[in-house]
Amino acid sequence: MSHFDYQNGVLHAEGVALPAIAETFGTPTYVYSKAQLLDNFDAYANACAGRDALVCYAMKANSNLAILDLLARRGAGFDIVSGGELLRVIAAGGDPKKVIFSGVGKSEAEMRLALEHDILCFNVESIPELHRLDAVAGALGKKARVSLRVNPNVDPKTHPYIATGLKASKFGVAFDDALATYRTAAQLPNLEPVGIDCHIGSQLLDDTPLLEALDRLIELIDTLAAEGIHLHHLDIGGGLGIDYGVAGEDQPVPAGEYLNRVFQRVEAWRAEKHDGRGIKVIFEPGRSIVGNTGVLLTKVEFIKHGEEKNFCIVDAAMNDMARPALYQAWMDMQPVVKRETTGAMFDVVGPICESGDWLARDRELPVEAGDLLVMKTAGAYGMTMASNYNTRGRAAEVIVDGDQVHLVRRREKAEELFALESVIR
C-alpha cells in the first residue's frame, strides 16, 4: 500500500493524516487512495496497450460510484453480476457497451435491462439460461451476444468459498458439456455466440492455474472453430490475488507479468494457426485493483482483559467488514499513531452480539481506549458486503486525492434503516 505510510509516526493516506479524517468524518470510515486505485488499474491497462484487449473491472469488489467513475474515465469496462450493478455503471458514466454480465441466476427483468442498454456480452452459465435469454431477446426483437462461462475443473488452491472453477461449483458449464452447449446456443435464433469465458477463483497468488485454464479455453476455441462456431473474444476472468501481509505467504504475481504471459500464449497460438483471425482478450480483475486502495479506519472503544484473552473492542464490526468472520481471512491491523510496543496480545472485536464478530485475532498491538486503528488492504469486499445487522448504519467512505478528502458516501442514520418498514394496526 504505497500511498499509505507513516509520516512523523502518524499514518497518512497520500497527503492527509488519518486522525484528521476521523475527526471530520467519524469512525468507522473506509478511506481510499485515488492514486493507488489508478496505479493498480494502469498496471493492467499498460500491459494491454497496443493489443486487442479490454479490462472489465469486477465491480462486486467495490461498487462505490466514485470508484466506478474514476475507472470509467480511465477506459475501464465492467464485469457485473446484477441489474443493480448495471444501473450503477450507468449512473457513474460508464459505457454499457463495455459491460460483461456474469452470474448464474439472471432474471428476465435483468436480461431486458441489459439488452435495452446493448451491453457487450452475457456470460451464460447454463442451458436453461440460454433458453430464457433467447426468449427475452426475441420478445424485444434483439439478438443477445453470449459467451459461455466454461468450468475448466482447474484447482485454484484458494479458500473453498472463493474457488469457482471445480466440478462441484455452482458456476459455469462443465468443460465436457461445453461443445454441446455451444451447439445449442448457435441454433437459438435470438442468440449470437461471440466469446468464451472462465473464472476459476479469487485471491490467486500463483498464475499457474490461470494459465492452465487458458490452455483449456484455447483447446475448446479450436474445437468450436472446426464446427463453424467462430468466437471473437476470450475472457480469462479475474482472481489475481493481493498481499494481505500474511506471514510466510507467497507474494502475488504482478498484474503486468501475468498479463504478458497470457498474451504470449495467445499470440503463439494465433501464430501457430496461421488463419489470420485475431481474438480480443478480456480480463475481469476486481480485488487486485481496489484491495490495497483502501483501509478501514476505526476507533478503540474499550480495552478488556480476560482470563484467557485480551480484547480490543473497536467501533467497526463484522457488519462493516465480513471477510474475517466469513472466510477466516487474516487482515493486518495497525495503530494510526505509532506507540512503543508493550508485547500485549489482543483479539480485535466489534460491538455486535455475535461471537463471530471479530476482525483480528492474537495481534500484538500497542493501543489504549480512544486510539485509532486501521484494517489495511480493506478496499475489496468490504463495503460491498456490509450489512445493517444490529441496526447499525454502514460506514462512511472517503477518497483521498493528494491533500484533498472527498466524502463519496455519507454514514447511514438509524432512521434511514427502517424508513422502508411499516407497522400494522
Q: Which residues are annotated as a binding site for pyridoxal 5'-phosphate?
A: 239, 284-287, 381
C-alpha span between 381 and 361 (Å, rounded) = 20
How big is the CA angle at 95 (ends 218 and 132), to the nearest 5 degrees?
Answer: 60
Taking the CA atoms of residue 304, residue 310, residue 313 and residue 314 in that order, the dihedral angle to the nearest 10 degrees is 140
Phi-psi region of 303 (alpha: psi -120 to 50; beta: other; left: phi over 0): beta
3-state SS, one letter per residue, for 234-303: EEEECCECCCCCCCCCCCCCCHHHHHHHHHHHHHHHHHHHCCCCCCEEEECCCHHHHHHHEEEEEEEEEE
Q: Are strands 173-174 and 144-151 parallel, antiparallel or unpaired?
A: parallel
Q: Cis link prior to 254 (omega < 30° from 0)?
A: no
Q: Are strands 121-124 and 10-13 parallel, antiparallel or unpaired?
A: unpaired
Neighbours of 353 (CB within 10 A): 9
> Which helix or strand (DSSP H or E) is residue 186 part of?
helix 178-187
C-alpha span between 146 and 186 (Å, rounded) = 10
C-alpha span between 109 and 102 (Å, rounded) = 15
Neighbours of 23 (CB within 10 A): 11
User: Are residues 151 and 165 in contact, defined by beta-carbon separation less than 8 angstroms?
Assistant: yes
Q: Are strands 99-101 and 77-80 parallel, antiparallel or unpaired?
A: parallel
Alpha carbon distances (Å) from 82 to 3, 86, 92, 236, 290:
32, 7, 16, 20, 20
Detail the residues annotated as belonging to a binding site: 239, 284-287, 323, 327, 354, 381
> Which helix or strand (DSSP H or E) is residue 123 part of?
strand 121-124
User: Are residues 130 and 124 in contact, defined by beta-carbon separation less than 8 angstroms?
Assistant: yes
Q: Is 48 a catalytic residue?
A: no
Residues annotated as part of the active site: 353
